[in-house]
């Protein structure tokens, strides 16, 4: 989180205190500036009084501009009304500041009021109000309004990001909902086939399925999970699938896990499942599935390849599983991944590169 975001977060949590701090800091800055430039002409007491009474005009001017003119008229493109109200309001604020100087500030200094300056002259002396008071008062109001607009823009951006994050999480849940029933259906069919044959490995298959379900249901509900958990999931899945086949199936799983980085859950499983579905289930000879995983700092590569029978229609790069995978990758790793699919007469290969940062 940047410094500006921390400041805006503090302001959101402590709104009144942050406003008070802003005006206190501004007063101290103005007093310091006045003391520096007027050190030989006015004592510190006079600078304190002058800047303090000046602040009393700057505060209403800032809130008048930031919370009335801009949101109610300017942002709603009511420019004529904004101009009229701004002229009237700024005139009244400058006039009140002038009266404050004459009847409060100058008497405190011990300065006598000019008897020739009547109330009518004070009210009608627009040029003095503009050149002496307007710029001094509203320069702060413009800065205050600019800061408020930045804060509002950041709030809008955070709200938009929150909505987008919620949308991403919802879509990911939908993608998982499409994946999990498909996986369960295939696995339960496998176990059912084993049970019909009274296979002694049926209980082991149920145990591995329980581990897989525990991981899917309770350990991968966030956007990112440790890659070590995905490796364990793949090992369980491979062992479970190998129970269906005899020695004719060869599965080579090589993983180089140098760093347990965070990745999106279940995307690797969908690729491996796709390889078994099209490589082992449809292969009548000696199917081979090769899986290679490499995980390092800011680098992740996953390659799955499988053989298939030439007489069987080739695998499709736009199958439902791969379409879902592409969508999931676009949601989580926009511009930070590359999914390459290669196919010839004997092999179907998927190469996934991710820059997890």
Out of 181-185, 224-228, 235-239, 249-253, pick the least confident: 181-185
Give pLDDT tens digits for 260-285. Answer: 999 988 889 889 988 888 777 665 67
Q: Using N-to-C axis directions, what is the helix angle for 3-13 and 15-37, rounded to 10°?
A: 120
pTM, 2 dp: 0.54
CA 295 to CA 301: how far, in whole Å?
7
**Could you tell me which residue, 72 or 246, shows the higher pLDDT?**
72
CA distance to 17, 148, 151, 158, per residue, from 155 (Å): 19, 10, 6, 5
CA 234 to CA 280: how far, in whole Å?
16
Region 46-59: mean pLDDT is 84
- The enclosing H or E element of 263 equals strand 262-263
CA 175 to CA 223: how far, in whole Å?
12
| Confidence band, pLDDT 50/70/90 cuts, at residue 141 | very high
CB-CB contact of 187 with 181 (8 Å)? no
Closest to 94 measured CA to CA, from 59, 125, 129? 129
CB-CB contact of 216 with 266 (8 Å)? yes
Give pLDDT tens digits for 302-339. Answer: 999 998 766 555 555 556 667 778 878 887 888 899 99
Q: Does position 297 have pLDDT exceeding 80, yes or no?
A: yes
Give pLDDT tens digits for 70-92. Answer: 999 998 899 999 999 999 999 99
3-state SS class at 252: strand
Tell me the pLDDT of the chain averaged across its residues.
82
What structural domains does the chain harbor?
3-160 (no CATH), 199-354 (3.30.565.10)
Distance of CA 324 to the CA centre of its chain: 23
Give the pLDDT confidence score for residue 356 in this predicted structure: 77
Residue 281 DSSP one-character state? S
238 CB-near residues (< 8 Å, 6+ apart): 251, 253, 272, 291
Out of 43-52, 112-121, 169-178, 226-235, pick the least confident: 169-178
φ and ψ at 13, to 5 degrees? Answer: -85, -35
Give the pLDDT confidence score for residue 198 in this predicted structure: 79
151 CB-near residues (< 8 Å, 6+ apart): 8, 11
Give the pLDDT confidence score for residue 282 in this predicted structure: 62
For 121-137, the DSSP string reads: HHHH-HHHIIIIIIHHH
Give pLDDT tens digits for 153-210. Answer: 877 777 766 666 667 667 666 656 555 566 677 778 878 887 888 788 888 888 888 8
CA 328 to CA 307: how far, in whole Å?
26
Strand duo 262-263 + 288-296: pairing: unpaired
Give the pLDDT confidence score for residue 67 in this predicted structure: 93
Q: Does position 131 have pLDDT exceeding 70, yes or no?
A: yes
Give the pLDDT confidence score for residue 155 in this predicted structure: 78
């Amino acid at each position: 989180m940047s410094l500006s975001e921390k400041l805006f977060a503090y302001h959101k949590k402590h709104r009144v205190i942050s406003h008070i701090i802003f005006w206190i800091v501004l007063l101290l800055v103005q007093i310091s500036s006045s003391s520096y430039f007027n050190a030989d002409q006015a004592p510190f007491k006079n600078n304190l009084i002058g800047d303090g009474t000046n602040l009393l005009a700057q505060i209403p001017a800032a809130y008048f501009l930031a919370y009335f003119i801009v949101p109610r008229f300017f942002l709603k493109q009511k420019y004529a009304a904004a101009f009229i109200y701004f002229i009237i309001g700024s005139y009244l604020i400058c006039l009140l500041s002038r009266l404050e100087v004459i009847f409060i500030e100058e008497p405190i200094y011990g300065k006598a009021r000019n008897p020739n300056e009547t109330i009518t002259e004070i009210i009608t002396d627009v040029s003095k109000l503009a050149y002496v008071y307007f710029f001094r008062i509203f320069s702060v109001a413009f800065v205050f309004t600019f800061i408020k607009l930045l804060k509002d823009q950041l709030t809008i951006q955070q709200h938009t990001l929150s909505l987008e994050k919620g949308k991403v999480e919802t879509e990911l849940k939908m993608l998982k909902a499409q994946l999990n029933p498909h996986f369960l259906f295939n696995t339960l069919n496998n176990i059912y086939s084993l049970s019909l044959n009274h296979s002694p490995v049926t209980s082991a298959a149920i145990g591995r399925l329980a581990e897989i379900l525990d991981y899917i249901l309770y350990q991968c509900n966030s956007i990112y999970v440790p890659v070590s958990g995905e490796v364990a999931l793949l090992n369980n899945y491979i062992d479970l699938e190998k129970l269906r086949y005899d020695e004719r199936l060869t599965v080579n799983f090589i993983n180089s896990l140098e760093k347990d980085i965070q990745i999106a859950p279940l995307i690797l499983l969908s690729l491996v499942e796709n390889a078994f579905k099209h490589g082992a289930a449809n292969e009548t000879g000696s199917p081979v599935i090769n899986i290679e995983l490499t995980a390092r700092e800011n680098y992740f590569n996953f390659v799955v390849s499988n053989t298939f029978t030439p007489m069987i229609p080739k695998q499709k790069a736009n199958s439902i599983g791969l379409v879902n995978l592409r969508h999931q990758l676009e949601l989580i790793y926009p511009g930070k991944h590359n999914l390459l699919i290669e196919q010839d007469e004997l092999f179907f290969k998927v190469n996934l590169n991710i820059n997890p940062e």
